[in-house]
Amino acid sequence: MQLVTFGHGCNRHRDAKLDEDRTCLQVRPPTRRCSSGTLPRTESRITVSATIVVVMVATILFLIFAMAIRIVTQYERGVHFRLGRIIAVRNPGLTLIFPAVDRMTKVSMRIVTMPIQSQGIITRDNVSVDIAAVAYFRVIDAEKSVVTIESVNSAIDQIAQTTLRNVVGQHSLDEVLSETAVINTSIRQILDTTTLDWGVEVTLVELKDIQLPESMKRAMAREAEAEREKRAKIIAELGVEKNTTMVFPAPLMSAIGELGSFLHRENASAEDLSSHGAKENAMKETTFNASALSASRP
């Protein structure tokens, strides 16, 4: 009987404790175990996840928009490709493209200066000279310059070297030194004819430097020295002639001038007298001949 009573007492004690726990649970819910003034842990996680998603979406949209914008400057043209095909040539300004399917190649329309490296060339009279030049060109058709040829600069550099060699080889050394304008024009015309199919125009070609061989330089120096000596001798002889000229005072010069005028008048008078005497003699001969003719008649 005592054991049964003890067992009933334990059960009652346990039931009372369970009732107390239920009361505590009803007064303080388990979701409110955090400190006062803060959000629940589940709601905080949801808010952080939403913020991360919004930031990622905004970043992706910004990157797509940045990749879709193309700015073409005033001196450029934009060749617009879509799925590998040209759809337009864009003028300066803001242009939008689709990053996944579109591509734009910018082409500068400004004049480009290209030096043509020095190379040894044999002229028509078999003289070896080293000549360097410079070429100026610009793109006039952006579409052709992108589609027709891979590298405009490399192509023009190579064709300019070969054209320079061919044109200079058709002229003698004297013509190369004295007729550079003609050679420049010939090279430009040949280059321009070739590069027009590439959408490029060659505006100017100039021979920049002409280096002669040392033997030719010495020969030209000797020739120039001989020419200078010849001119110096001529100038010296002219100076000697001027130094031997007599200079008279002004009164004497005026007297000489008057004497010359007097002699001129005397010569004129003598000529008049001689002409008058000749006329008289002619008249006398005519009269004599007439008298003789009349006397001889019966």
Q: What is the mean pLDDT of residues 202-218?
A: 86
* Model confidence at 158: pLDDT above 70: yes
- CATH number of the 112-212 domain: 3.30.479.30
The pLDDT tens digits of the residues spanning 251-284 come to 555 666 666 676 677 677 666 666 655 655 555 5
Instruction: Report domain extents, the chain.
Output: 67-108, 112-212
- Residue showing tokens 């799925």: 83
Q: Is the pLDDT of residue 23 over 60?
A: no
Phi-psi region of 37 (alpha: psi -120 to 50; beta: other; left: phi over 0): left
pLDDT of residue 109: 93
Q: Is pLDDT above 60 for 208? A: yes
> Looking at residue 155, what is its pLDDT?
92
Would the pLDDT of 218 be above 90?
no
Angstrom CA distances, 174 to 179, 181, 184, stand at 8, 13, 15
Q: Are 136 and 203 in contact (CB under 8 A)?
A: yes
Q: What is the pLDDT of residue 292?
A: 45
> Which pLDDT value is given to residue 298?
44
pLDDT of residue 257: 65
Write down the H helix ranges in the chain: 2-27, 41-68, 142-147, 152-169, 173-178, 180-195, 214-243, 250-296
- Residue 114 pLDDT: 93
pLDDT at position 154 over 50: yes
- pLDDT one-digit tens code per residue, 182-198: 999 999 999 999 999 99
Say what the pLDDT of residue 105 is. 92
Q: How many CA atoms lie within 13 A of 52 on its CB side?
A: 6
pLDDT in tens, 43-74: 677 777 888 888 888 888 888 888 888 889 99
Please choose, from the candidates 134, 135, 133, the residue with its C-alpha nearest in 3D space to the C-alpha of residue 192: 135
C-alpha 37/C-alpha 127 separation (Å) is 99
Triad 259, 262, 266: Cα angle to 5°: 140
Whether residue 227 is predicted with pLDDT greater than 80 in this model: the reply is yes
Contact, 152 vs 200, CB < 8 A?
Answer: yes
Look at residue 20 in the predicted model and tell me its pLDDT. 57
pTM: 0.56
- 163: Cβ contacts below 8 Å, ≥ 6 apart: 187, 190, 191
Which is more confident, 124 or 272?
124
* pLDDT value of residue 14: 56
Give pLDDT, residue 162.
93
Q: Residue 289: pLDDT band by 50, 70, 90 thresholds?
A: very low
pLDDT of residue 12: 56
Mean pLDDT of 26-31: 49
Distance CA 59, CA 53 (A): 10
pLDDT of residue 273: 60
User: What's the mean pLDDT when you consider all of the chain?
Assistant: 77
pLDDT on residue 247:
52
